[in-house]
């Protein structure tokens, strides 16, 4: 299939491109590079052994850019990663988040239907469950109150796509609710490259390990969890990427609306991750306990059975693989894609 990949220069998009090409698909990327670098695409091309990944630098809010793309290429489906994703930034810049994520996706969906491409895989998030009513979280778990505008954009966009699919059953919509993606391609040439101080745990750990930051702050050790620190379902980004290839097979069958959790089904605490990292890499990660972070929940992990049953997809990599691969990327590229 020929796939339009929005946000393909980013962390998950770049890894998904590798798996798409490995599965025999081709792709065209549209990305405005607001949180990424075109260098990631050059490195993807090297990994998959093609001269280049077709790329248009542009914003998905720009209808003309999208129309030009759909006029030039025929797409069988779109994998839609493009969006802003920093939770704390979304609290101080709500309009920017609603504009980018909502307007961008609404424009994309409109241009897609006008060009007769009605297959979409959307990057959603476990954040739509809010403080989950049941653990492990199945897709039947009711959606919850999001604690930030970023989360609301995911929750509302899910609703938009569900309603559009209900009104027009030519649409095939797959909503993938990612848990906590970490790790990097085993080559160590592509990975997560956050701007400024990392918000997320693993990039913070790797920056401490590489000597860029003195210590990790552990946000709270008084949660109702085995060691008091927050528990999450970390998933290797390569496994996550392969989940998209599996979802494409579903779309090809004319699946209508489908929703899947993409996680491992295992929860690890912050201190479990620190210890797994130290074990996998031999590098010490100094840390100190800090107050809880606003909006955090104690425990969040998936039941990934539905993706296993319906997509034939299961995560293969364990926490040590994730730590080892995150570290390989960070230690080989201490400044990310900026050289």
Interface ranges with ligand WQD (CB under 6 A): 85, 87, 125, 127, 180, 199-201, 204, 216-219, 230, 232, 270, 293, 296
Show contacts of 331-338: CB within 8 Å, 24+ apart: 331/188, 331/206, 331/209, 331/210, 332/188, 332/189, 333/188, 333/189, 333/191, 333/193, 334/210, 334/212, 336/37, 336/191, 336/193, 336/194, 337/36, 337/37, 337/39, 337/40, 337/193, 338/37, 338/193
- Which residue minimizes CB distance to ligand WQD? 230
Residue whose C-alpha is closest to residue 5's, from 22, 28, 26, 25 = 28
Per CB under 6 A, 191 contacts ligand NAD: no
Q: Are strands 287-290 and 234-236 parallel, antiparallel or unpaired?
A: unpaired
Per CB under 6 A, 151 contacts ligand NAD: no
Selected from 152, 171, 178, 337, the binder of ligand NAD by CB under 6 A is 178
Alpha-carbon span 78 to 69, nearest angstrom: 12
Alpha-carbon span 130 to 126, nearest angstrom: 8
**Residue placing its CB nearer to ligand WQD in the complex, 8 or 230:** 230
**Residue placing its CB nearer to ligand NAD in the complex, 104 or 230:** 104
User: In the bound complex, what is the minimum distance in angstroms from residue 18's beta carbon to ligand NAD?
Assistant: 13
**Residue placing its CB nearer to ligand NAD in the complex, 160 or 289:** 160
**Residue placing its CB nearer to ligand NAD in the complex, 12 or 18:** 12
Catalytic residue of the set 21, 97, 150, 337: 150
Q: Are strands 180-182 and 216-219 parallel, antiparallel or unpaired?
A: unpaired
Specify whether 129 is catalytic: no
Q: Which stretch binds ligand NAD (CB under 6 A): 29-37, 113-121, 246-254, 329-337?
A: 29-37
Binding partner selected for residue 296 from ligand NAD, ligand WQD, none, CB under the kind-specific 5 to 8 Å limit: ligand WQD
**Residue placing its CB nearer to ligand NAD in the complex, 12 or 259:** 12
Scan residues 48-67 and list those touching ligand NAD (CB under 6 A): 59-61
**Residue 214: phi, psi to the nearest 5?**
-70, -40
Judge whether 134 and 76 are in contact, CB under 8 Å. Answer: no
User: In the bound complex, what is the minimum distance in angstroms from residue 287's beta carbon to ligand WQD?
Assistant: 8
User: In the bound complex, what is the minimum distance in angstroms from residue 13's beta carbon to ligand NAD?
Assistant: 5
Residues tagged active-site: 150
Which residues of this protein are in contact with ligand NAD, per CB under 6 A? Answer: 7, 9-13, 31-36, 59-61, 81-85, 100, 104, 123, 125, 178, 181
């Amino acid at each position: 299939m020929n796939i339009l990949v929005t946000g393909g220069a980013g962390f998950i998009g770049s890894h998904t491109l590798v798996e798409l090409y490995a599965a025999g698909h081709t792709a065209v990327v549209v990305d405005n590079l607001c949180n990424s670098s075109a260098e990631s695409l050059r490195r993807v091309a090297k990994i998959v052994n093609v001269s280049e990944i077709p790329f248009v630098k542009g914003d998905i809010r720009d209808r003309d850019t999208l129309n030009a793309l759909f006029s030039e290429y025929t797409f069988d489906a779109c994998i839609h990663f493009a969006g802003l994703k920093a939770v704390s930034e979304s609290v101080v810049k709500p309009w920017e988040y609603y504009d980018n994520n909502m307007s961008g996706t609404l424009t994309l969906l409109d241009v897609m239907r006008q060009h007769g491409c009605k297959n979409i895989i959307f990057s959603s998030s476990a954040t739509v469950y809010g403080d989950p009513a049941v653990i492990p979280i199945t897709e039947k778990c009711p959606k919850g109150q999001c604690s930030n505008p970023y989360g609301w954009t995911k929750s509302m966009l899910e609703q938009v796509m569900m309603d559009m699919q209900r009104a027009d059953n030519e649409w095939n919509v797959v909503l993938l609710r990612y848990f906590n993606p970490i790790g990097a391609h085993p080559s160590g040439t592509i990975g997560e490259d956050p701007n400024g101080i990392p918000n997320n745990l693993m990039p913070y750990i790797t920056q401490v390990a590489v000597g860029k930051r003195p210590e990790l702050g552990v946000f709270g050790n008084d949660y109702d969890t085995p060691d008091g620190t927050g528990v999450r379902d970390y998933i290797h980004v390569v496994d996550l990427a392969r989940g998209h290839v599996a979802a494409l097979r579903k779309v090809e069958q004319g699946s209508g609306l489908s929703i899947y959790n993409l996680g491992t089904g295992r929860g690890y605490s912050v201190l479990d991750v620190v210890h797994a990292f130290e074990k996998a890499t031999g590098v010490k990660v100094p840390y100190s306990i800090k107050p809880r972070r606003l909006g955090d929940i104690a425990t969040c992990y998936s039941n990934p059975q539905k993706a296993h049953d319906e997509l034939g997809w299961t995560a293969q990599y364990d926490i040590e693989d994730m730590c080892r691969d995150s570290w390989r990327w960070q230690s080989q590229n201490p400044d990310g894609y900026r050289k």
